Amino acid sequence: MPTRSRLGRTNGVALSIVGSLVLLVALIWTLQDDRDDSASAGHLTLYCAAGLKPPVESAAREYEERYGVHVDITYGGSGTLLSSLKVSNIGDLYLAADDSYSDLAREEGIAREVFQLATMRPVVGVSAGNPKGIATISDLLGPGVRLGLANPDAAAVGRAVRTAFTESGQWDTVSKAAVVMKPTVMDLANDLNLGSIDAGLVWDSTVNQFTGLESVHLPELEGSARSVTICVLESSERPTAALRFCRYLSSRDAGLPHFERMGYAAAEGDRWEEKPELLLFCGGMLNAAIDDTVTAFEEREGLSVTRVYNGCGLLVSQMNAGASPDAYFSCDQTFLDLVSERFHPGTTVSSNRMVILVRKGNPSGITELADLCGPGLKIGLAHPEKSAIGVLTRDLFEEAGLTERLEASGNIVLDSATGDFLVNQMRTGSLDAVIVYRSNAAAALGDVDLVALTAPGAQATQPFAIAHATNHPRTLARLLRAFTQTDSRARFDALGFGWEQPLPAESE
Amino acid sequence: MSQPSDIRDRGFLLFLALFAGLYVALIVGMLIADATYTTPDALLAALESEEIRYAAKLSFTSSTITALLSVWFAIPIGYLLSRTSFPGKALVDGILDIPIVLPPMVIGLSLLILFQTSFGQAVEGLVPVTYRIPSVILAQFAVACAFAVRTMRVTFDQLPERPEKVALTLGATRAQAFWRVTLPQAGGGALSAGLLAWARALGEFGPILVFSGATRMKTEVLPSTVWLELSTGNLEAAVAVSLLMVLAAITVLVTARALGVRRGW
């Protein structure tokens, strides 16, 4: 039998256990998350480089006020966040302090779209007034200067500085002169601010965030600028909402001013529109090759792209008459050249060989261009002023010295603005032969036969060009990127186009 | 404590006090340096910030939950290690030291990876853990419990085994002897274990950063706040939050120890 006092102590133990259980339950109850943050549309998760907190937080707050979309921001080092994302595979957005991380994220298949926000340049950070009179590299190496560096393996600025100084052959001297290497640029700036070092190699934007510091620019470091970027993650379940936030953050009149106010050199951005409406002029031959890609782009980005498909000669006339498309996907470089002053240089995406279509079984025995001048044929050609294929056809006959023979033959019974129209005429059986693009013929191959044209000039190349006047150059660069991806290429391939983009574009 | 009667005893105590004084001076010196670095405005701003108040609430609540859980686990583990021998005991003993030895970041990373396995995904299906509040508690618990276990084991080691043996010879079962004889004597040790786990959990940062992230108003604890403020070059705020954390922690620890002393622990 336990004694009375022992019984009392046992009851005390029981009381402690029950008490701690009640306390535990009560505490857990107070931590219940009252916000529903699962997959609601008004909610995004952003993994953000910690040093970028001030501009990102104020822009995100403004975005929530304007559009009611809450952005949950998790901070960390760019590299640490990337490692976590690789493992956890959740979240919508990743904002890296340096584009090497977003490149890595894209290579590893974690990120899809990448938006540039600001640029940073390495500089020497010193106390305001530059008390040590630092102006050149040799000033940093003097005995009276305590120099700090960011660790080149851990911090982006350290890496940029090491690359630049290794090129100029000064890295060994500089790294030996340093009294300390810190893991992040902000650690280094904090040391500068505290006065425990006299000079530190940091970003210009870091210096701008401290009133007590100023920058000294070194010519050796001028070519080492890096970018702050935000990416939409492959894991995002709300890519359209994520993209809309990225567009906001990277717009010159919405998110970027927040970065400028905090001392960053903002990137060139689009103008902010909640739902941009873009106008795209495209050569008629591209219709089947690009329309699905553009529709997918519209859906993912949450914007609208009005496509005007037509013969390129007509499109050029419309532009000369005042039409102002945001971008032009031309049937052939020659037509882009006619309006080159309106556009940035084009990126050639595809090419299209020219072919002769003949009746099934080739009853007229047509095997080359000259055969089209033979007696008693009815042939259709594209109009030499209204369309790219017409110009190329005319040039082809001229180069072969056949122009006069063709005219004398009287065989041309039809000229049309588009290749598709010629193909339809062919299918009705009213013509013996037409010259069109391979892509025009793709749909009709069961009804007609195809004769390849081997002359080097028998091909058109299709460049995509962005207008100088557009308010959405970044968005259009993403559209271009969409055209160069694998699924888009498959559509071009299926239609018989050649491919002029050996690799997917690196960045927009 | 007996009065030092001899001049040599006094010299000895002075010698001890010298070491104690130096260490205490170092700690107090750091706090004074912090206090002179920050301003009342920064302290006030920290107190007024909704985010920091949330981080403080989460820090104190999660640390307390962690401490309670740690003591619950530490008592049986400590008792087993102290009073029994079983095959592989040395191995288990070693495993229990791993959370103390491993760099905190590695604990966080390991938890993150664990919750991506099929087992982890099954748990996530029931209770979402990764990047949520439960991950904060789990990250704290993974480390803090190891410290509580060490404390409880030393406690049971130091309790004489005799009364328990006597109870057994008087016909009590092992469970009865544990509940009625040993456990009531281990109260002081349990309090120490709980406070150690609590303090450890409050300062925990590395594993939380990796496993829970530092999401404002969600998984941000006070050490994450300090780190975030440092990451943006806001030293004054970082120091202000640190000081508030020190003040709150000292208040809790001193009060709890005083209560323990009053109960005779």
Residue A488 has pLDDT above 80, yes or no: yes
The DSSP annotation for A381-417 comes to EE-TTT-HHHHHHHHHHHHTT-HHHHHHHT-EEEEES
Question: Does the beta-carbon distance from B183 to A13 stay under 8 Å?
Answer: yes
The minimal CB distance from A28 to the residues B65, B71, B231 is found for B65
Residue A140 has pLDDT above 70, yes or no: yes
- In CATH, the architecture of A277-350+463-499 is 3-Layer(aba) Sandwich (3.40)
Instruction: Name the band, by pLDDT with cuts 50, 70 and 90, for residue B248.
Output: confident
Q: Please tell me which of A97-101, A304-308, A390-394 the model is most confident about, judged by mean pLDDT.
A: A304-308
Write the CATH number of the domain with boundaries A122-224: 3.40.190.10
The Cα–Cα gap between A334 and A338 comes to 7
The ipTM value here is: 0.73
Residue type, A171: W
Instruction: Name the band, by pLDDT with cuts 50, 70 and 90, for residue B112.
Output: confident
The answer to whether the beta carbons of residues B219 and B134 sit under 8 Å apart is: no
Contacts of A55 (CB under 8 A, 6+ apart): A258, A259, A261, A262, A264
| Nearest chain B Cα distance for residue A48, angstroms | 10
Q: What tokens were used for A122? A: 């390495």
Question: Does the beta-carbon distance from B68 to A20 stay under 8 Å?
Answer: yes
Q: Please tell me which of A284-288, A300-304, A374-378 the model is most confident about, judged by mean pLDDT.
A: A300-304
The minimal CB distance from A31 to the residues B133, B232, B235 is found for B133
The answer to whether the beta carbons of residues A482 and A293 sit under 8 Å apart is: yes
Is the model more confident about A138 or about A387? A138
Residue A39 has pLDDT above 50, yes or no: no
Residue B4 has pLDDT above 80, yes or no: no
Find, among A203, A104, A122, A124, the residue nearest to A163 by Cα: A122
The Cα–Cα gap between A250 and A55 comes to 12
Find, among B233, B146, B210, the residue nearest to A52 by Cα: B233
Nearest C-alpha in B relative to A77: B231
Residue A505 has pLDDT above 60, yes or no: no
Task: Using a pLDDT cut of 90, give the percent of chain A over it.
Answer: 42
| Nearest chain A Cα distance for residue B148, angstroms | 16
Domain coordinates in residue numbering, chain B:
1-37, 43-262
Residue type, A302: G
Q: Is the pTM of this model over 0.80?
A: no
Contacts of A467 (CB under 8 A, 6+ apart): A324, A325, A326, A327, A328, A342, A343, A344
For residue B40, the model assigns a pLDDT of 86
Q: What tokens were used for A147? A: 């120099």
| Nearest chain A Cα distance for residue B5, angstroms | 39
Q: What tokens were used for B66? A: 């962690």
Across chain B, mean pLDDT equals: 88
Using an 8 Å CB-CB cutoff, list chain A residues near B215: 72-75
Encode pLDDT of B135-189 as tens digits. Answer: 999 999 999 999 999 999 999 999 988 888 888 888 888 888 888 888 888 888 9
Instruction: Name the band, by pLDDT with cuts 50, 70 and 90, for residue B206.
Output: confident
Is the model more confident about A416 or about A240? A240
Q: How far is CA B18 from CA A215, B1, B23, B158, B194, in A?
A: 47, 19, 9, 29, 30
Task: Using a pLDDT cut of 90, give the percent of chain B over it.
Answer: 45
Average pLDDT of the residues in B105-119: 88
Using an 8 Å CB-CB cutoff, list chain A residues near B190: 16
Encode pLDDT of B212-222 as tens digits. Answer: 878 778 888 99
Please list the residue range(s) of chain A that carry CATH number 3.40.190.10: 43-119+227-266, 122-224, 277-350+463-499, 354-459
Report yes or no: B193 at the A interface, CB cutoff 8 Å: no
The Cα–Cα gap between A109 and A504 comes to 14
| Nearest chain A Cα distance for residue B2, angstroms | 31
The Cα–Cα gap between A85 and B91 comes to 34
CA A62-A63-A66 angle, to 5 degrees, is 85
Find, among A161, A123, A53, A85, the residue nearest to B231 by Cα: A53
For residue A71, the model assigns a pLDDT of 93
Average pLDDT of the residues in B84-103: 92
For B43-262, give the CATH class: mainly alpha
Q: What tokens were used for B12? A: 């000895």
The answer to whether the beta carbons of residues A298 and A496 sit under 8 Å apart is: no
Q: How far is CA B137 from CA A38, A278, B132, B143, B197, in A?
A: 20, 49, 9, 10, 12
Q: What tokens were used for B249? A: 């922690």
Average pLDDT of the residues in A404-433: 83
Encode pLDDT of A94-138 as tens digits. Answer: 999 888 889 989 998 999 999 999 999 999 999 999 999 999 999
Residue-wise over A241-265: b if at least 16 C-beta within 10 A, else e? bbbbbbbbbbbbebbbbbbeebbbb
The answer to whether the beta carbons of residues A134 and A216 sit under 8 Å apart is: yes
Residue B80 has pLDDT above 80, yes or no: yes
Nearest C-alpha in A relative to B113: A87
Write the CATH number of the domain with boundaries A354-459: 3.40.190.10
Question: Is the CA virtual torsion A213, A217, A218, A224 positive or negative?
Answer: positive
Q: What tokens were used for A229? A: 């970027």
For residue A34, the model assigns a pLDDT of 55
For residue A258, the model assigns a pLDDT of 94
Biggest CA–CA distance in chain B, Å, is: 70
For residue A41, the model assigns a pLDDT of 53
- Candidate CATH numbers 3.30.565.10, 3.30.420.40, 3.40.190.10, 3.90.870.10; the one for domain A43-119+227-266: 3.40.190.10
